């Protein structure tokens, strides 16, 4: 899963990036509102963490512009402002959640995890597809009740497919959501990752839809 962090405070940005990275997320950072708005308009993100007090363009203006342009990614607002009116204004401009500074990183992680789950139609942190299970809280996977070790890229690939279970996901879409902005994205790597996951779980759980992409489904004998 790929996150955009728009935050001009270097220390906060570094701490949040580290925490998200340890939880398996890819993080792109924008240091001012202009860059943040541009990235949100041009790159596909699974969620955005948006500070309100930004140079160049303030957070509420960015959020308003995104929503008016039809960008629907979930947005968690960070702010040092303390009045309830600021919270109400942010939510009415299209924010999905609000977190006041200072905050605990564990709470931020839980809120981001919940936003991403809800945006893909999942309420439970334990995602399942037949006997394949992925705990989004602990970043652990299991198959037939046995734990399965995954590399960081394998986890991100499986997580995206699990969040979009039943949908056909193209190579391009997967590539955009498991690599960061500055990474040399090679769609051929996706085939390798899919084959690794099939070996670790089941060759029948990830179907290839020729010319379209991949689809995570429950095998017939597990449904």
CATH topology of domain 2-119: Rossmann fold (3.40.50)
Q: Please report which confidence band the pLDDT of residue 181 belongs to, taking 50, 70 and 90 as the band edges.
A: low
Identify whether the C-beta of residue 158 lies closer than 8 Å to the C-beta of residue 199: no
The pLDDT assigned to 194 comes to 93
Greatest CA span in the chain, whole angstroms? 56
CB atoms within 10 A of CB 218: 16
pLDDT digits (tens, 9 = 90+) for 192-201: 899 999 999 8
Reading the block at residue 116, the tokens are 């991403």
Six-digit token string for 54 = 């930004």
Can you tell me the distance from the alpha carbon of 15 to that of 105, in angstroms, rounded to the nearest whole number? 8
Query: Does the structure show a pLDDT above 90 at 161?
Result: yes
Instruction: Quickly list DSSP for 21-64.
Output: HHTT-EEEEESSHHHHHHHHHHS--SEEEEESS-SSS-HHHHHH
The arithmetic mean of pLDDT across residues 74-103, rounded, is: 86
Give the model's pLDDT for residue 157: 92
CA 46/CA 39 separation, integer angstroms: 13
Q: Which long-range contacts (CB under 8 A, 24 or more apart) does 78-83 make?
A: 78/7, 78/12, 78/49, 78/50, 78/51, 78/52, 78/103, 79/51, 79/52, 79/53, 80/52, 80/53, 81/52, 81/53
Q: Rounded to an integer, what distance in angstroms lies between the CA atom of residue 26 and that of residue 54? A: 22
Residue 130 phi/psi, 5-degree rounding, is 65, -125
Query: Who has greater pLDDT, 84 or 53?
Result: 53
pLDDT digits (tens, 9 = 90+) for 13-56: 999 999 999 998 999 999 999 999 999 999 999 999 999 989 99
- Confidence check: pLDDT of 223 > 60: no
Q: What fold does the segment set 126-222 form as a domain? A: Arc Repressor Mutant, subunit A (1.10.10)
Higher pLDDT, 215 or 79: 215
Residue that is written with structure tokens 């955005």 in the block: 48
Q: Report whether 33 contacts 54 (CB < 8 A).
A: yes
In the chain, residues under CATH classification 3.40.50.2300 are 2-119
Structural contact between residues 76 and 118, judged by C-beta atoms closer than 8 angstroms = no
At 173, phi and psi to the nearest 5? -60, -45
For the chain, where do the domains classified as CATH 1.10.10.10 start and end? 126-222
Question: What's the pTM value of the predicted model, to 2 decimals?
Answer: 0.83
Helix 84-92 and helix 59-68, axial crossing angle in degrees, nearest 10: 20
Give the pLDDT confidence of 104-149 residue by residue, as tens digits: 999 999 999 999 988 888 878 889 998 999 998 888 899 999 999 9
The rounded mean pLDDT for the chain is 89
């Amino acid at each position: 899963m790929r996150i955009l962090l728009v935050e001009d405070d270097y220390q906060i940005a570094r701490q949040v990036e580290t925490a998200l990275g340890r939880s398996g997320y890819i993080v792109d950072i924008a240091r001012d509102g202009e860059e943040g708005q541009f990235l949100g308009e041009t790159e596909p993100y699974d969620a955005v963490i948006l500070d309100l007090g930004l140079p160049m363009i303030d957070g509420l203006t960015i959020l308003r512009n995104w929503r008016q342009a039809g960008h629907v990614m979930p947005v968690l607002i960070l702010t040092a402002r303390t009045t309830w009116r600021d919270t109400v204004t942010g939510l009415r401009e299209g924010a999905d959640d609000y977190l006041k500074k200072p905050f605990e990183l564990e709470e931020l992680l839980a809120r981001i995890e919940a936003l991403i789950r809800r945006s893909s139609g999942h309420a439970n942190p334990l995602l399942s597809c037949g006997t394949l299970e992925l705990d989004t809280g602990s970043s652990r996977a299991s198959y037939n009740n046995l734990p399965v070790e995954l590399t960081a890229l394998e986890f991100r690939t499986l997580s995206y497919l699990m969040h979009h279970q039943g949908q056909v996901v193209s190579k391009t879409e997967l590539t955009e959501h498991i690599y960061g902005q500055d990474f040399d994205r090679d769609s051929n790597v996706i085939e390798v990752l899919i084959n690794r996951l099939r070996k670790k779980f089941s060759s029948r759980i990830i179907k290839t839809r020729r010319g379209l992409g991949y689809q995570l489904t429950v095998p017939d004998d597990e449904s």
